[in-house]
Amino acid sequence: MDPATAELIAFYGFRVLWALVVAIGAVLLARVIRRATMRVLEGMRAHSNAVILLGNLAQVGVLLLGALVVLAIFTGPNFGAILTSFSLLGLVIGLSLQDILKNFFAGIWILVERPFRIGDTIQVDVHTGAVEQIAFRTTMLRTPDGRQVVIPNNTLMTSPVVNHTAYPLRRAELWILLPDEGVPQDIVGTIRASLRDVSTVSGEPAPRVDLRGVADGKARFLVTFWAPDRVEAETEAIAALRARLPKAEAHGA
């Protein structure tokens, strides 16, 4: 065999062998990284879609790194120029898809951190509704009047989000107006007794009754209580108070 040919075969044979070792190592490492990533996310109770997606992304990242190493083995000194070309191409693509990528990564953040979940009632800017779907680019809300609002996930990550159902109880307030000459002696006890009969009103914390003043011949009482469903509890509490105090005017605060 010609010495030059033998040298060429040995040169490329070594590179092929080394590239195979790197490729096999990258595949095995990618599987380990994927499983470890998914295990960590499951421990954080992240959304199942986010667990699978981020596990796959971690695996692809390791495989891409392995592919770059293999490319460097075969290209040698030209690897820098090739890597620069790929970097410029990636930059152009990234800039053209900037808004989509922002919403995509914001969607991943929402699915991992879970600041709210399906069924929660949230408020974003002027929009309030129940969360119906959390996708990787948008989140869908259903408003109380039956409309659908599609919000970009990047907006949810950069704007204040109020979760109205994050806690089991919400505070409700009612105004009670009574003629100042007809206020029962134990008005506070009477109001609290009325609220105890309302199943949707929580007993703890105990309802609070405060006299806020007397004007136009009427005493104004602010009643504060806690309930799982504020709207339903307010409706039932007003009915109970009007039944116990026929002369009272009761309405939401």
Q: How far, in Å, CA of 85 to CA of 91, rounded?
A: 10
The domain that holds 180 is classified in CATH as: 3.30.70.260
Are both 147 and 190 inside the same structural domain? no
Question: What is the structure's pLDDT at 123?
Answer: 95
Are both 83 and 26 inside the same structural domain? yes
Whether a cis peptide bond, with omega within 30° of 0, leads into 205 is: yes
What would the pLDDT profile of 24-42 be if each residue is shown by its tens digit? 999 999 999 999 998 988 8
Are both 135 and 81 inside the same structural domain? no
In-domain check, residue 104: no
The domain that holds 142 is classified in CATH as: 2.30.30.60
Q: Which domain, by its residues, includes 243?
A: 170-252
Are both 125 and 210 inside the same structural domain? no
Q: What ranges in 97-199 are assigned the alpha helix state H? A: 98-113, 153-158, 187-196
Are both 91 and 13 inside the same structural domain? yes
DSSP classification of residue 208? E
Instruction: With cut-offs at 50, 70 and 90, classify the pLDDT of residue 143.
Output: very high
What would the pLDDT profile of 113-122 be if each residue is shown by its tens digit? 888 888 899 9
Q: How far, in Å, CA of 125 to CA of 53, rounded?
A: 29
In-domain check, residue 110: no
Residue with tokens 């039944």: 243
Q: For residue 83, which of 93, 62, 69 has the smallest C-alpha distance?
A: 69
What angle do the packed helices 98-113 and 79-96 form, to 10 degrees? Answer: 80
Mean pLDDT within 215-227:
89
What would the pLDDT profile of 54-69 be if each residue is shown by its tens digit? 888 889 889 988 888 8
Are both 42 and 13 inside the same structural domain? yes
Are both 7 and 78 inside the same structural domain? yes
Are both 230 and 192 inside the same structural domain? yes
Q: Total domain count for the chain?
A: 3
In-domain check, residue 196: yes
In-domain check, residue 52: yes
Q: How many CB atoms lie within 10 A of CB 129?
A: 21
The domain that holds 66 is classified in CATH as: 1.10.287
Q: How far, in Å, CA of 162 to CA of 120, rounded?
A: 10
Q: Measured in whole angstroms, how far is the alpha carbon of residue 209 from the centre of its chain? A: 36
Q: Specify the amino acid at residue 171.
A: R
Q: Is the overall model pTM greater than 0.85, yes or no? A: no
Residue 33, judged by CB atoms within 10 A of its CB (0-12, 13-18, 19+), counts as middle
Determine contact, residues 41/51, Cβ cutoff 8 Å: yes
* Chosen domain end from 105, 135, 163: 163
Q: Measured in whole angstroms, how far is the alpha carbon of residue 131 from the centre of its chain? A: 10
Are both 180 and 247 inside the same structural domain? yes
Instruction: With cut-offs at 50, 70 and 90, classify the pLDDT of residue 250.
Output: confident
